[in-house]
Structure 1
Amino acid sequence: MKIDFKFSNLCGTVYKKGNLLFTPDGNSIISPVGNQVSIFDLVNNKSETMPFENRKNIVYIALSPNSQLLLTIDEDGRALLVNFYRRIVIHHFNFKGKVNCAEFSPDGKFIAVGVGKRIEIWRSPGLQHEFAPFILHRKYSGHYDDLTHINWFHDSRFFVTSSKDFTVKIYSTDPVDGFVPTTLTGHKQTVIASFFGSDNSTIYTISKDGALAVRKFNLVADQSVVEFGKFPLDPKTNQPLETQWSTPKHHYFMQKNTKLKVAVFNPATQTLVVGFSNGVFSLYEMPSFSELQTLSITQTKLTAAAINFSGEWIALASSKLGQLLVWEWQSESYILKQQGHAYDMSCVAFSGDGQYIATGGDDGKVKIWTAASGFCFVTFSNHSAAVTAIQFSKRNQVVISASADGTVRAFDLVRYRNFRTFVSPTPVQFTCVAVDPSGEIVVAGCQDSFDIYMWSMQTGNLLDVLSGHEGPVSALDFSPDGVQLASASWDKSVRLWNVFQRSVSVDKLSHMFEVLSVVYRPDSKQVSTSTLDGQIHFWNVENASQLFSIEGRKDIAPGRKQNDVMTAENSSFGKSFTSLCYSADGSVILGSGNSLYICLYDVESGVLLKKFRVSSNFSFDGMHELLNSKYMTEAGPIDAIDSDHNASDLEDRLDMSLPGVKSGDLSKRNTKEIVRTSCIRFSPSGKQFAASTNMGLVIFSLDNNLYFDPYDLEVDITPSVVKELLFNEHYLRALVYSLRLGENTITNLVYNNIPLSQVQHIVKQIPSKYLIRMLQFISRIFETNRFLQLNLHWINMIFTNRSAYFLSNSLSVRPVLRDLRKACSKIHLNLGKLCDDNIFDIQRLISS
């Protein structure tokens, strides 16, 4: 089995902090997610998380006008320069200070960066690797507090800056005759943003208290408005005439008891979007200040907004909820509405065909995600407490979730409703759930009465209560053949139940420590358990004997937390596996826990094959093996001290989340989270695995960009030989040689040129060891190849004429069969939707 899994996507989180950007074509929205960047394609309905990571959480991103360069800046001022199209990091750079804003100039030649109180202008780097791609052009100072916003003039000669010191300043990129740097005052609170108007003679400045000042550039002599940047000369003296900025108008947004948090302006359509701390956003047409729309979209403050070039779509984000919206204001409809779990993600499950991923969170919500696009298409909010376990039924139409609210619920993915609710005779808190392969029996374990409850899916009635454990039940798993049920408990034992024959004795697998997880191998002949001491045990199911163990404490051990007194080596936190999962063929096993590492072991040898690091974000705690003493002070770790006064405003410190609370906790604490991986699951095809973490749903996939993968390759097997065999109609040898060569282009050429009448004859004679490789090739090209009949005919012939091989090698062929099932299901859904649309259109035309 291949083990070169690489980071593929981050689905469970859509926004954390920072600003939003639309691509110049307006079809995609770029959102910072922790220390990574996600791109949401609004036209093709796909999301993608770039593979690179900043050192800490990203606070600002900037995109060049030609969309070739992306600049991402983290909390410490460290920046990454990225080739946006190729997703490759070109250069690392440190601005040596906290960066609040950064903007590319309209001509793409400069980058204006607000580092604390000063402005730095850097020459825009190229796309090639350079020794020093960042070259400082000029530095500007004059503000007395941190900058909040930078906006460029249309010709890149000037820019305007906003600051927390209530002022706005206008600077020139290079010295310009007749221009003197100007300061605009008059606001009573922090200036959130300032923008150049489309008439090139107006500047709009917006402050936190909801005041908008209209500044006009005019002559001092007759107060006539002139275009900024073209300084008129006196015809008599040939000297520049005296000019000034005046404030003829003030406008107010009139939102009581709120503060303005974000403002964006589109000069092409002259529309202004402002967001407030109460979740309301307003759209205005400038310069008339006509209100076009005002809506409340959330109950928390808006922290980021963006508007595309055409002015049709507005993107809004809230960091507290992790919510991202794209609103089309003219039709008043959502283009995109995504939100992750409000609290940590606790569990994850793949559907049988691998198309969908279900997640449960501590917020009591169950979300269903599309694995291919990374979008959540349905959310169930029926649970009133944290969801502790989740699982799909065999037919993928039902999702079963267990919760600490004392209920187990079944959700229908066809009608999107909760159609069954399973409860116990006495109130308990459920910690785990399992469904038998037939989908008829649902079992759940609890942490109160230590019992296991069994229900019927059809009737919802309680069938039986399995008693015997003396501690909380931590995990349940049905054997793939549906004969046994394995239950793990904190009483240091695992019990193997025969739920259909109660007369059969229950096998007990005793351990030395508390058992945290249990899972069956796909062939039902082996069961694996993890214990609190960090070991993974493997048991023979037939005679209930232990085979061997893996010592994994050192493999999964997390780093040292900033408040830990002892070193990470002596700490016991996180040194155990809380979730295990076999691969589809049972050759490897994954383990995860309260750590940032995921360990992949070989089942046969017990050797650690690879360690996957979930995140490299140093904004989390426990990322370092050793702590640096220079970051420790008498008041504690320096990272725990709020030194930048982000929450200096009263409305940012109020916590009125509980009913009846009027003031809340006025203190501001800065604590770091620890990366935890609560659950991990392999996809049925074995090509990817998903981990539910407190960062979101992290997906690792095999690298599909491998073009040359030789298999039984010999010297005389070359592409020219394969083409010659194909030309001479030696189809069987050409196909076998192309599979041995391992180049998809050559195999595709042979595959498309074999007549349908020869397929059955070739399938009967092809060596058995090439059958799986042939099916892997068909599943790989299924979505891109338009020859649907050819693909289905090959699959039908292989299964019809070589069924004996698949029955005798059922374990090794399961991954490719599930991959084929996923591809066929996806094509079936797309064709079904297309046919339904065509039928509807024909009926509408006939009736009209």
Structure 2
Amino acid sequence: MGKDDPETTALKKELDDLIKKCQEDQKKQQDTTLEEACGSLPDPPKVKMTTKKNLKGHINKVNSVHYSGDSRHCVTGSLDGKLIIWDSWTGNKVQVIPLRSAWVMSVAFAPSGNFVACGGMDNMCTVYDVNNRDSTGSAKIVRELLGYEGFLSSCRFLDDKTLITGSGDMKICMWDLESGRKTTDFPAHAGDVVSISLSPDGKSYITGSVDKTCKLWDFREEKARQTFFGHEADVNSVCFHPSAEAFITASEDKTARLWDLRSDQQLATYKPPNSNPGFTSCGLSLSGRFMFCGSDDNFIHIWDTLKGQHNGTLNGHENRVTSLSVAPSGMAVASCSWDQSVRIWV
């Protein structure tokens, strides 16, 4: 069937009509808006964060950053073919890990701090043991997870024994790291799975995709619990709310959004007042009140999630902000950019 095939066109129209009907039914259930419900709340203070450390060491675009569970160490992956583990308190490099492929798109730090994982255009996920070295003195490769028909776009550790990945072949895979075997492998979206966020209670996760949708999954099932429509372009990043009952998204359609799991719908849309950038990444403060979004206008934009107000920007990067990670303690934000630097904001 070609793209302009009459049957395909009819099916697409039917699907669009069904989505519209669902959205209309959702609207009927709304008795108020988030802004109306939170209108009486006092305005929050302006977020005053500055660059505490500007970490330099990469010599090409830095594509991904992720904090360890200790809120001190973070790992970054760059197109210079290196992973760097940083001590974000001192600004020192703890380890530099040379990669077999420079095309790294995603990195992950195990909550324990014992392992890091990365992957990208090499169509596999490589896991390194931070505490053990190989003959060259670099962190030892403990697993090379193969079997992807597309690039690896997202990975997250559940614990030291389990890893979940999303990839360009539209699949979600779960891996048992002790045996190196895939325990789950299923098609999840109609486009690349570009972002994964684990729920605070560890029972579910959210995925964001190039197919413009987000989905909620239970770890025990291979069928999506909920699908969220609304974005008009790629969903580049998803992040669970600390309450585990909502999540935020950052999209290529130049909006960031807040979604509620219980009412199965979008609660708010966020746009900066004076610019119109696409968003690459997102994160939330420990309370969930403040939302951080990295963008292609070189800034990290901040909003008050409840009142929908733009709270300011974090300025310092000189090129597109590609990824950000909020420390588990809530005390800092790490961001990385095409300007080859990594910044720690406090």
Query: Residue 698 of structure 1 corresponds to which residue in structure 2?
Result: 301
In 1, distance between residues paired with 2:128 and 2:165? Answer: 16
Larger Rg: 1
Is residue 2:253 matched to residue 1:542? no
Contact 2:175 2:181 in 1 (8 A): no
Query: Residue 585 of structure 1 corresponds to which residue in structure 2?
Result: 243
Paired residues in the alignment total: 268
- Measure how far apart 1:384 and its partner are: 0.9
- Measure how far apart 1:508 and its partner are: 2.8
- Measure how far apart 1:588 and its partner are: 0.6
Q: How does 1:78-477 map to 2 (within 5 A)?
A: 373-424=48-99, 426-447=100-121, 449-459=122-132, 460-477=139-156
Amino acid at match of 2:143: D
In 1, distance between residues paired with 2:235 and 2:71? Answer: 28
Q: How does 1:632-647 map to 2 (within 5 A)?
A: none
Return the structure number with greater strand share. 2
- Structure 2's unaligned 5+ residue stretches are 1-33, 133-138, 308-327, 332-346
In 1, distance between residues paired with 2:263 and 2:175? Answer: 29
- Measure how far apart 1:7 and its partner are: 9.6
In 2, distance between residues paired with 1:396 and 1:520? Answer: 17
Q: How does 1:750-769 map to 2 (within 5 A)?
A: none
Is residue 2:341 matched to residue 1:683? no
Contact 2:115 2:160 in 1 (8 A): no
Query: Residue 319 of structure 2 corresponds to which residue in structure 1?
Result: none
- Can you list the C-alpha shifts for 1:27-47, whole angstroms capped at 9, x where unaligned? xxxxxxxxxxxxxxxxxxxxx
Match of 1:500 among 168, 175, 178: 178
In 2, distance between residues paired with 1:683 and 1:418? Answer: 26
- Can you list the C-alpha shifts for 1:13-67, whole angstroms capped at 9, x where unaligned? xxxxxxxxxxxxxxxxxxxxxxxxxxxxxxxxxxx6xxxxxxxxxxxxxxxxxxx
- Measure how far apart 1:599 and its partner are: 1.1
In 2, distance between residues paired with 1:477 and 1:550? Answer: 21
Contact 2:74 2:109 in 1 (8 A): no
- Structure 2 CA distance for partners of 1:382 and 1:440, relative to 1, 3 Å: same
In 1, distance between residues paired with 2:44 and 2:61? Answer: 27
Aligned partner of residue 505 in structure 1, secondary structure = strand
- Measure how far apart 1:501 and its partner are: 4.2
Aligned partner of residue 691 in structure 1, secondary structure = strand
- Measure how far apart 1:591 and its partner are: 0.9
- Measure how far apart 1:6 and its partner are: 11
- Consecutive aligned runs of 4 or more in structure 1 exceeding 4 Å deviation: 2-9
Query: Residue 320 of structure 2 corresponds to which residue in structure 1?
Result: none
Aligned partner of residue 123 in structure 2, secondary structure = coil
In 2, distance between residues paired with 1:384 and 1:526? Answer: 37
- Can you list the C-alpha shifts for 1:82-130, whole angstroms capped at 9, x where unaligned? xxxxxxxxxxxxxxxxxxxxxxxxxxxxxxxxxxxxxxxxxxxxxxxxx
- Structure 2 CA distance for partners of 1:513 and 1:582, relative to 1, 3 Å: same
Return the structure number with greater helix share. 1
In 2, distance between residues paired with 1:7 and 1:594? Answer: 29
- Structure 2 CA distance for partners of 1:546 and 1:703, relative to 1, 3 Å: closer
Contact 1:680 1:692 in 2 (8 A): yes
In 2, distance between residues paired with 1:686 and 1:468? Answer: 37
> Which structure exhibits the higher relative contact order, with contacts defined as CA atoms closer than 8 Å and separated by 6 or more residues?
2
In 2, distance between residues paired with 1:585 and 1:525? Answer: 13
TM-score by length of 1: 0.30
Aligned partner of residue 71 in structure 2, secondary structure = coil
In 1, distance between residues paired with 2:203 and 2:160? Answer: 12
- Structure 1's unaligned 5+ residue stretches are 10-47, 49-371, 558-574, 621-674, 705-816, 823-848
Give percent identity, aligned residues only. Answer: 17
Is residue 2:247 matched to residue 1:615? no
Contact 2:246 2:259 in 1 (8 A): yes
- Structure 2 CA distance for partners of 1:520 and 1:604, relative to 1, 3 Å: same
Amino acid at match of 1:591: T
